[in-house]
Structure 1
Amino acid sequence: MMRGSRQLRFRLPPPRTHGGRRAGAGRKPKGARAGVSHHGRPAVTASTPAHVTLRVLPHVWNLRSQRSLRVVEAALEAAAAACAAFRVVHFALEGNHLHLLVEADGQRALSSGMQGLCIRLAKGLNRMMGRRGKVFADRYHARVLGTPSEVRNALAYVLLNHRSHLARLGKPAGRGGVDRFSSGRWFDGWRGGGPGVPDGARRVTAAPRTWLLRTGWRRGSTGSPRAARGPISLDEVPPAVGG
């Protein structure tokens, strides 16, 4: 009786595949600085505002200029007219990034609203610079604000962001004033009433609808040993907020 022949075994390389977990897989960051996690967005609801940060690439001109301000205000005004489910209530410009306080009727509204706003900002800034291509360094970072104290801290940080930057650089912040590269002129929560809105100045941001951004923030505090509550002083130097 003949014995069956033994089958030879060959070592073959693993098949190439586009699926599964592997080193180097996944979406790559848009810039050298990948500061935003790609592991999903925080849960945004119709009753919780969010603090959003957008960082531009190094080639983008200084955002704290009158020409950049005009581009940003035009984009905000167009975004407000395009979608009622997504609202930018406050903003502040720094040299290479901008801060937004936004409201959205849910996660989908936040995502679509930010996508539309980023497209408008990118087109406007590229048109201003006479160039094409990417403008933002990475996806936006959003931090949901769920308590009066979180909202008060975020309001102070965004509207007085220039003072916070000076303090971190070790420079004197001096006497406070409304930052002209922010929406502070429309804020009605300044201690002592604030400077008021200039005659004829059109509002490019939306009025707040959430309780937290309308009145609830006045119940919050900074959480510091000498906690500030209620209206925000123009002389405050807000600490950096988390997220």
Structure 2
Amino acid sequence: MSRAGARGQTSSSRLRGRACVKQREFVFREHGGARANTGRKRAASRKGYERHRERPPLDARTPVHVILRAKSGVPNFRDEDIFRAIRRHIEESSGDDFRVIHFSVQETHIHLIVEATNQVLLSRGVQHLARRITWDVNRLRRHSGSLWRDRYTRRDLTNLRQVRNALVYVLMNARKHQCDEKEAFLASISLDPCSSAAWLDGWHPSAAWMLLALQLDLLRRDLHECPVAAPRTWALREGWKHYGLIHDDEAPSNRLSTRSQTSRSGHASVRARPLTGTRRAIDAGPSSDVTRGG
């Protein structure tokens, strides 16, 4: 046998030997691998903050509930001069692609119900509004630096029940934050002047006297001009009313949800319908996931 033939036979033998070897499965035993509750833990000081994840896409027909939370130690947003500045910037922020439909200004945070063409224009609109508010608050209080605790909270209102619950949660939010008995009582028999409650088209007739008192107060303070935009989405304009007009004694519940509950009139409501579905044949009585009686 020639030297070249012996070399070829040796190579083929090696290949056959290698083909017989099986790759064993590598099993993670103590370190590495995808497991529950692994990775860097969130700092205790960051609990309750918004996670820095990519925002989901937004449909132009879907209203959004936005919350801007301030850092600790900032001035009270409900002070007269600061509230007027915030109200003015809310009014100026609305345009064709981003509109503030309702708002509520609390001591340390701001609630907004907005409409936007898409997710990018929503982010730009909220960031522009937050930036303008920061400039004015720092100017009024001779302060500098950031005003907001973290990125804004976004909650898409994907069905009619969520829209109604968000309206109650935003416009009646002052009733949730009153700790003193006297302040809680006064909040329960009035509508919040630091909100857009005076421009909601959907109050129950039982709230007529509260609405009149609020309008007279705003007229006395020269704040009677409407600072919010008219809704363009059907959900904010008419759709949410299929679950009942808002009564004068409603208050925010601890958690907004879409569960079916028994309405004030005693009729069980159907499960919430998505906004992308049909608008006809909505068989639902007045119902909401909010507590009655403040």
TM-score over 0.5 (shorter chain): yes
Residue 164 of structure 1, CA deviation? 2.5
Q: How many residues align?
A: 204
Q: Do the aligned residues in 1 keep the contact of 2:162 with 2:256 (CA within 8 Å)?
A: no
For 1:45 and 1:171, how far apart are their aligned partners in 2?
A: 42
For 1:101 and 1:240, how far apart are their aligned partners in 2?
A: 18
For 2:64 and 2:121, how far apart are their aligned partners in 1?
A: 12
Residue 241 of structure 1, CA deviation? 3.7
Structure 2 counterpart of 1:46, one-letter code? A
Render the CA deviation track for 1:33-83: whole Å, top value 9, x for unaligned: 661011122332110001001101113101122122101111112212xx3
CA RMSD of aligned residues (A): 2.5
% identity of equivalent residues: 37
Question: Hey, what does 2:73 align to over in structure 1?
Answer: 59
Q: Do the aligned residues in 1 keep the contact of 2:165 with 2:256 (CA within 8 Å)?
A: no
Alpha carbons of structure 1 residues 79 and 211: separation in structure 2 relative to 1, 3 Å: same
Q: Secondary structure at the match of 1:128?
A: helix
Render the CA deviation track for 1:128-181: whole Å, top value 9, x for unaligned: 111211010100010000111000000001000011234xx5958434321011
Larger radius of gyration: 2
Alpha carbons of structure 1 residues 71 and 33: separation in structure 2 relative to 1, 3 Å: farther
1:160 aligns with 2:183: no
Higher relative contact order (CA 8 A, sep 6+): 1
Q: 2:200 aligns with which of 178, 184, 187?
A: 187
Q: 2:190 aligns with which of 177, 198, 206?
A: 177
Moved more, 139-148 or 35-44: 35-44
Structure 1 unaligned spans of 5+: 1-22, 221-229
Alpha carbons of structure 1 residues 95 and 156: separation in structure 2 relative to 1, 3 Å: same
For 1:98 and 1:236, how far apart are their aligned partners in 2?
A: 20
Q: TM-score, normalised by structure 2?
A: 0.64
* Structure 1 segments of 4+ aligned residues over 2 angstroms from their partners: 31-34, 169-176, 196-200, 240-243
Q: TM-score, normalised by structure 1?
A: 0.76
Structure 2 counterpart of 1:209, one-letter code? R
Q: 1:79 aligns with which of 62, 75, 93?
A: 93
